[in-house]
Amino acid sequence: MTVLTNRQTTAPAHEAGAPLPAGPRSFGTVVKAYIALTKPRIIELLLITTLPVMFLAAGGLPPLWTAVSVMVFGTLSAGSANALNCYVDRDIDQKMRRTRRRPLARHQVSPRGALVFGIVLGVLSTLGLWLTTNWLAAALSTGAILFYVLVYSMILKRRTAQNIVWGGIAGCMPVMIGWAGITGRLDWAPLVLFGVVFFWTPPHTWTLAMRYKEDYAAAKVPMLPVVATERRVILESIAYTWATVLCSLALWPVAGTTLFYPVVAAVLGVMCLWEVYRLLGRLNSGKTGVDLRPMRFFHWSNAYLALLFLAVAIDPLLA
């Protein structure tokens, strides 16, 4: 996601909101379009939080079959939620530069096809988790799909600037599913990691929304950067980043980790805070818009979450 030049941001008339023309309808194109509906890059981020939690729950290497089952059917679950989200958001996806190349916006997949595809993936993921792990993991997976589609996509996203704060709960569920898949129950450790992802999500998403503020405004989606000043967005991002770091450190006493985890969490936390405060510094120096470079924090927050959960997976192996 690079910064666009002035020439790039001046889109032709048909790009301002009209759907892009559909590509060739070969079998390979259709398959790729359905895969794209699942938003694979988002699924990767969700799986990054799922597998390490299974290491923590097992106190070391998790049972191979259980781990594979959770990852495979967890992928189907996330793909179901994302495909159904594409179905719900097909109207606004055509209006945003960031999303107008999605399959529904390009008419590579019919709305009905996307709806059926999302439902089928959801049913398969629920049945798969139920049959190969336990009912709790299956129930959490189904709850995550329903919450993301019915609560976030259909209610919160277009009605409140707090959409991503509460809607982000769905993105926290893989942590719970991974733990439940191994233990068959919930505990304080996965709740702490749930909190980490919960607090991490708003600043991560808001900095992306700062970069694509005009897109969200054109689609009439009230993301915080659209309805609030840049200062307020950055200050709230700082508050949530502090909450993320403090919550991450709480795993040490709650899960009884070795010193490896809190040291890594502290170092990563300092670096994350440094980056979000640099964003405030650029604002105080008079920079605005793309000159604030919000995508620096967005990309760093991705790395932060991946490295933090890598530490979660490594720590029980050291113990």
Q: What is the pLDDT of residue 27?
A: 81
Q: What is the pLDDT of residue 309?
A: 98
Instruction: Write down the H helix ranges in 256-293.
Output: 260-284
Q: What is the pLDDT of residue 44?
A: 86
Instruction: Report the CATH architecture of 34-184.
Output: Orthogonal Bundle (1.10)
Q: Which helix (H) or strand (E) holds 162?
A: none
Q: What is the pLDDT of residue 203?
A: 97
**Contacts made by residues 150-158, CB under 8 angstroms, sequence distance 24+:** 152/85, 153/84, 153/85, 153/88, 153/89, 154/88, 157/89, 157/221, 158/92, 158/220, 158/221, 158/222
The Cα–Cα gap between 63 and 66 comes to 5
Segment 274-285, tens digit of pLDDT? 999 999 999 999
Domain parsing of the chain, residue ranges: 34-184, 187-319
Q: How far apart are the first and last CA of the chain?
A: 39
Q: What is the pLDDT of residue 7?
A: 33
How many H-runs (helices) and E-runs (strands) does the chain carry? 15, 0
Residues of the chain whose pLDDT is less than 50?
1-23
Q: What is the pLDDT of residue 161?
A: 94
> What is the pTM (predicted TM-score) of this model?
0.89
Query: Hey, do 34-184 and 187-319 end up sharing a CATH topology, with the first three levels equal?
Result: no
Q: What is the pLDDT of residue 46?
A: 83
Q: What is the pLDDT of residue 20?
A: 47
Q: Report residue 132 as tokens.
A: 């190969």
Q: What is the pLDDT of residue 200?
A: 97
What fold does the segment set 187-319 form as a domain?
Four Helix Bundle (Hemerythrin (Met), subunit A) (1.20.120)
Asked if 117 and 83 touch (Cβ cutoff 8 Å), the reply is: yes
SS3 helix, strand, coil % of the chain, rounded to 5? 75, 0, 25
Q: What is the pLDDT of residue 290?
A: 80
Q: What is the pLDDT of residue 17?
A: 43
Q: What is the pLDDT of residue 283?
A: 94
Segment 23-62, tens digit of pLDDT? 456 788 889 999 999 999 888 888 899 999 999 999 999 9
